[in-house]
Structure 1
Amino acid sequence: MGNLTHVTINFDTSHLIFPTLIGCILGLLGLAIAIRDRRAIAASGAHWRDILGRMDKPRFFGTLALTIAYFSAMVPVGDIWPNTGMGFLLCSIPLVAGSGLLFMRERSLRKAVPLMIVAVAAPVLVWWLFTDLFFLTLP
């Protein structure tokens, strides 16, 4: 009965819970879309030509590159300061700033300054919530 209140955290793998969970959810959503649109997906190449013709390629591939860079850099940066969440914090600030600039229609200094404030403030707030209030480790 005493084991019910005992919690053991494996710090080597604890940071992998949320990415794995999010990956599974995205996989299930992709499968649901594939099942729903199976006729259009299996149809002739006209469907795909239409999609690729209308797609905003710079934003799509930019977002893909930012996401891959974010997840690839988070653990190595976090290994410099283990169990502090610095990997999350120091990689999230450029991700938020980069994705905000990528999706911004008009890139002026007047519009970029609030974005940069949010790019710093939001990850710092989330990092503080997870580390100090919830006592959760981040990479």
Structure 2
Amino acid sequence: MGSLASVTIDFDTSHLIFPTMIAVILGLLGLAIVIRDRRRIATAGAFWRRTFAEMDRMRFFGTLVLVLLYFSLMLPIGDFWPNTGMGFLICSVIFVFLSGLLFMHDRDLKQIIPLAIVAVVAPTFVWWLFTYPFFLTLP
């Protein structure tokens, strides 16, 4: 009976409970969707062929490359200034500016200047907010 009143927690694996539960639930829901819509999924080839033929490849693949570079460079850049959030700040400024340029239709100086201001101000504000009022360390 004494063991009912005591609780032991394995701190090495206890943080994995909820992500595992969510992954299993999402997997089961995805499987249910595939089973329910199997006929529509099987006949969707023409839709996807048309979608891939008409898509803007430069913006699609450019966004994928920018996102991959953003997340993969944040930590190595941040390692130059540990526990300051400079990796987040520098990578975010560059990411916001380049993704804005990527999705801009007319790239003249009149539109690039506001983009540059937003690319510097928005990540700097988020960095300041997390660093000082919230006392959270960014990568």
Q: Could you tell me how far 1:38 is from its partner in structure 2?
A: 5.5
* Structure 1 residue ranges (4+ consecutive) displaced by more than 6 angstroms after TM superposition: none
SS where residue 106 of structure 2 aligns? Answer: coil
What's the offset of the Cα at 1:45? 2.5
Structure-2-length-normalised TM-score? 0.72
3-state SS, counterpart of residue 120 of structure 2: helix
Q: Give the length in aligned residue pairs.
A: 112
- Secondary structure class of the residue paired with 2:132: helix
Structure 2: 5+ residue runs without aligned partners?
1-18
Identify which of structures 1 and 2 has the higher relative contact order when contacts are C-alpha pairs closer than 8 Å and 6+ apart.
1
Q: Is the 8 A contact 1:78 1:86 kept in 2?
A: yes
- The equivalent residue for 1:135 is 135
Quick one: structure 1 residues 111 and 40, their matched pair in 2 at CA, closer, same or farther if it must change by over 3 Å?
Answer: farther
User: 1:11 is matched with which residue?
Assistant: none
- Report the CA distance shift for 1:93/1:43 in structure 2 as closer, same or farther (over 3 A): same
Partner of residue 41, structure 1: 41
Q: Which residues of structure 1 form unaligned runs of 5+?
A: 1-20
Q: In the aligned structure 1, how far is the partner of 2:39 from the partner of 2:92?
A: 39
Task: Specify whether residues 38 and 72 from structure 1 end up closer, same or farther in structure 2 by C-alpha distance, changes over 3 A only.
Answer: farther
In the alignment, what sits opposite 1:85? 85
1:21-71 Cα distance to aligned partner (Å, 9 max, x none): 9xx89xx6xx86x93875443225312111102211110100000000000
TM (norm. structure 1) is 0.72
Which residue type is aligned with residue 132 of structure 1?
Y
